[in-house]
Amino acid sequence: MKQNKVIIIGGGSAGLACAIALREKGIQDILLLEKENELGGILNQCIHNGFGLHMYKKEYTGPMYAQHHIDRFMELQIPYIIDATVLDISEDKIVTVSEPNGIYSIQAEVIVLAMGARERTRGNIQIPGDRCVGVWTAGNAQKYLNMDGYLVGKRIFILGSGDIGLIMARRLSLAKAKVVGVAEIMPYSNGLTRNIVQCLHDFDIPLYLSHTITQIKGDGRVEGITLCQVDENRQPLFETAKNFEVDTVLLSVGLIPDNVLSEKAKVSLDLKTKGPIVDSELMTSTPGIFACGNVLHIHDLVDHVSMEGILVASSIIKYFEDNDSLDLIPVKSKGFLNYVLPQSINPKSDTVLLKYRVSKPMTKGILRIICNDQVLLKIPKVDLHPSEMQSFNLTKVILDKINSNVIVELSDE
């Protein structure tokens, strides 16, 4: 059987950053597998700017950010295969791949999961109505428009106010489609303020907060939708129904980490993040399998994805030096937190970057790191929003005080 020291699955921002960092740290035997016909991943279709503010202090477009990494990857002559679909990963790290030269298996010492995420579809959120043509996920519509040059519709309603939905509202308006409105089931937008301003206000597109689509109508093609306000339990108030004539509905209703392959390798998943459960080295429950980027948890900024890829590279170096499994210290979240990552601390880690999302918008809150009923750290926080991932670095000084279960708590007092 063919063998590779490290196999990276996915050539998007996480996979590229990990491959580059591994090679820069002296690992020669790397193979990156990409299922699309080019490297770069989802960045290639995100033609708007605003990428790289944290990593490069620049506002690159998605393709520029990707190009930056692709150029470095090529310069380092890292082996890769495009049009390569991974069919299976086993617990003992055998990767089965289908690529233009055939189907075969490769034994890896380490596997990096960097497959990214998928969009939630109409099926996932079960919008009632006719099963007609013209209901798209925002990302698919984006790919059609930005890479293939097809406009998916002329009068469009967008469900979901996440950043992809907002970016598409602007993009479609610039492409001379009429965006009739954007609806958000929550009482607040899940997008960045700058996107609300530059993508909706600039084009006079109304944002309907606490609203959802209760019906899609159309004989063959979408002809219209019914929009209803929702109550505090997100149940539609049918007396508020309004009809809109549109030919297209775009869904921007969230991303789900793509872990079909991870499950084949018996990697345990977290119900909240929908990604692998990892320790502070970003190693999954299957030793030697690591995860980074959107496959691990959904990110709002690509910079953080790249940084995760780089962190995995460092962890792999440590793993090759010494792969004895140490007792992990569980990390739990409490209070107004949706999740905390990593789910455990590996005593090997010198510092631990805790990442978390709040469960509701808060103007101020207090983050506490608790161990053995003792508050190790108390950090005041301001302007917290569920759509913005937060992070906090646990330094060596703090880690030395941690010897049993850690609780990360966010409270409003």
Partner 1 sequence: MNKQVICIVCPKGCKVLVNEENGVYTTTGNACNRGNIYGIQEAIEPKRMLTSTVKINGALHQRCPVVSSGPIKKELIMEALKVLETVSLSAPVTIEQIICHNICDSGVDILVSHTMGKTNDL
Q: Name the minimum Å distance from CB 38 to partner 1.
A: 6
Residues between 217 and 236 with contacts to partner 1, criterion CB under 8 A: none
Cα gap 183→156, rounded to integer Å: 12
Q: Name the minimum Å distance from CB 173 to partner 1.
A: 10
Q: Name the minimum Å distance from CB 148 to partner 1.
A: 5
Q: Closer to partner 1 at the Cβ: 6 or 55? A: 55
Q: Name the minimum Å distance from CB 361 to partner 1.
A: 11
Q: Closer to partner 1 at the Cβ: 49 or 124? A: 49
C-alpha dist (Å) from residue 228 to 157, 242, 243, 250: 13, 6, 9, 17
357 contributes a contact to partner 1 by CB under 8 A: no
Tell me which of 26, 102, 123, 149 binds partner 1, using CB under 8 A.
149
61 contributes a contact to partner 1 by CB under 8 A: yes
Q: Name the minimum Å distance from CB 71 to partner 1.
A: 8
Q: Name the minimum Å distance from CB 179 to partner 1.
A: 15
Q: Closer to partner 1 at the Cβ: 29 or 59? A: 59
Q: Name the minimum Å distance from CB 201 to partner 1.
A: 7
197 contributes a contact to partner 1 by CB under 8 A: yes
Q: Which stretch binds partner 1 (CB under 8 A): 146-154, 220-228, 261-269, 331-339?
A: 146-154
Residues between 15 and 54 with contacts to partner 1, criterion CB under 8 A: 37-38, 44, 47-49
194 contributes a contact to partner 1 by CB under 8 A: yes
338 contributes a contact to partner 1 by CB under 8 A: no
201 contributes a contact to partner 1 by CB under 8 A: yes
75 contributes a contact to partner 1 by CB under 8 A: no
Tell me which of 77, 126, 193, 393 binds partner 1, using CB under 8 A.
193
Tell me which of 14, 33, 66, 298 binds partner 1, using CB under 8 A.
66
Phi-psi region of 218 (alpha: psi -120 to 50; beta: other; left: phi over 0): left
Helix 302-321 to helix 13-24 angle (10° resolution) is: 40
76 contributes a contact to partner 1 by CB under 8 A: no
The answer to whether the beta carbons of residues 7 and 106 sit under 8 Å apart is yes
Residues between 126 and 145 with contacts to partner 1, criterion CB under 8 A: 145
Q: Closer to partner 1 at the Cβ: 131 or 176? A: 176
Q: Name the minimum Å distance from CB 53 to partner 1.
A: 11
383 contributes a contact to partner 1 by CB under 8 A: yes
Q: Closer to partner 1 at the Cβ: 206 or 347? A: 206
Q: How many residues at the interface with partner 1, by CB under 8 A?
A: 32
390 contributes a contact to partner 1 by CB under 8 A: no
Q: Which stretch binds partner 1 (CB under 8 A): 196-204, 279-287, 332-340, 351-359?
A: 196-204
Q: Name the minimum Å distance from CB 336 to partner 1.
A: 17
147 contributes a contact to partner 1 by CB under 8 A: yes
User: Do the strands 102-113 and 94-99 form a parallel or antiparallel pair, or are they unpaired?
Assistant: antiparallel
The answer to whether the beta carbons of residues 265 and 291 sit under 8 Å apart is no
The answer to whether the beta carbons of residues 227 and 241 sit under 8 Å apart is yes
Provide the binding-site residues for partner 1, judged by CB under 8 A. Answer: 37-38, 44, 47-49, 59, 61-64, 66-67, 70-71, 145-149, 174, 192-194, 196-198, 201-202, 383, 385, 388
